[in-house]
A and B are shown apart, each in its own frame.
Chain A
Amino acid sequence: MNLLVFFLALAVYLVLTPSAHAHVEGSQAVGFITGLQHPWSGIDHVLAMIAVGLWGAQLGNPAIWVLPITFPLVMSFGAMMGLLGIPLPGIEIGIAVSAILLGVMVLGEVKPKLIIAAIMVGVFAIFHGHAHGTELPAGQSGLLYSMGFVIATGILHGIGISIGLIHRWPTGKLVLRGAGAFIAAMGFFFLWQAVV
């Protein structure tokens, strides 16, 4: 009881405490925050990352952990291509198609061989990395930005996997398939935006 009162008091104190404005974040420190925020700024990226987690949860072991391990590595490879100036044609279309296909996989509970699923996710990761990993504002730390960007992408996968755990219940399976349909539909919208 005493502990509860303590934490309540602490919560009230933290809520009411004004933020300190004395130390403004410098450009280097902001790099991490920028990287952490960036993946959330594009709904196409968010949906595709969550779809990877959902699909991994549907596929079960070992895909549930192979896909989130594969994705950041290949995504950073795509980002490195972008940073080195190696062009990748049709990036926006690739990202839209990733949402469509990953959504369809979740919708249909498609269970291909692990290697096929890993390659598919890996190919899409290159497009996402190329598009999103290279947008570092001037003056910010590349390493801190990269840390934030990779961690945020991992968190999105974690959210997808956590949601995907409802797959163990019959109703949960239906909800997941509905989510897959939504992601695929959004993918078609992104594709329309990319093409038009």
Chain B
Amino acid sequence: MLGVAFSAALLKPANAAAHLVTTGMGPVYDGIGHLLLTPEDLVPTLAVALYAGLRGRAPGRRALFFFPLAWLIGGFIGLAANTLPTFPVSAFSFLLVGILIAADLRLPDNAFTVLAIAVGIMHGFFNGIALKAGPGGLGLLGIISALFVLVAIVSAFVVSLKPPWTRIAVRVAGSWVAAMGLLMIGWFFRGQG
């Protein structure tokens, strides 16, 4: 029953009504501003970077390249698409990556790569649809650039953390992200998402 409701919500199209950030400095900067000022994209990006950092150097390096690449591919697909689902699909990336961080679950490297690619394609797709109304492909490049830098800095920072309590702090942040994802789903059904 719940699955049917989810499917219906996902399939029901709506106009792309995302509010793009306009920096006045051109489409690339608009894209950078979009990522940095849009919590629906920024929080999952940080979460993937945190999880990559928790997993260590090799998975972190994979995420650094595959995640932005997947976002870029998703973005190009989105630029060719027309409609956004009304359901806040990004809530699932909040929930999934947040739980992985909170529980410090050790996904196999390949599974983590698949996860990073899936999250990247999904968010990139929605960005692509939103960017059609504004900065377009150049905006997408801005987003990818900011994404690469953010993931590099955050995951490298987490890899470098040595005291045990710092790892716990990262896990607490993950539980916050997952909690936000649950609440996003709740707000959607309440009609206030």
Chain A residues at the B interface, C-beta cutoff of 8 Å: 65, 68-70, 72-73, 75-77, 79-80, 82-84, 133-134, 136, 138, 142-144, 146-147, 149-151, 154
Contacts and interface: CB of A to CB of B under 8 A. Distances in A.
A36 B117 CA distance: 32
Interface in B150-190: 165, 168, 171-172, 174-176, 178-180, 182-190
Nearest to B180: A146
A135 to B, nearest CB: 11
Given A69-B102, A73-B179, A77-B182, A84 B189 contact: yes
Interface of A is mostly: helix
A69 B171 contact: yes
B26 interface: no
A3 B56 CA distance: 38
Given A65-B168, A73-B102, A147 B39 contact: yes
A12 B104 CA distance: 45
Contacts, number: 86
Interface residues of B, number: 27
Interface of B: 39-40, 43, 88, 99, 102, 165, 168, 171-172, 174-176, 178-180, 182-190, 192-193
Given A68-B172, A69-B172, A143-B40, A84 B187 contact: no
Nearest to B189: A84
B110 to A, nearest CB: 27
Given A69-B102, A136-B187, A143 B180 contact: yes
Contacts of A143: 39-40, 88, 180, 183-184, 187, 193
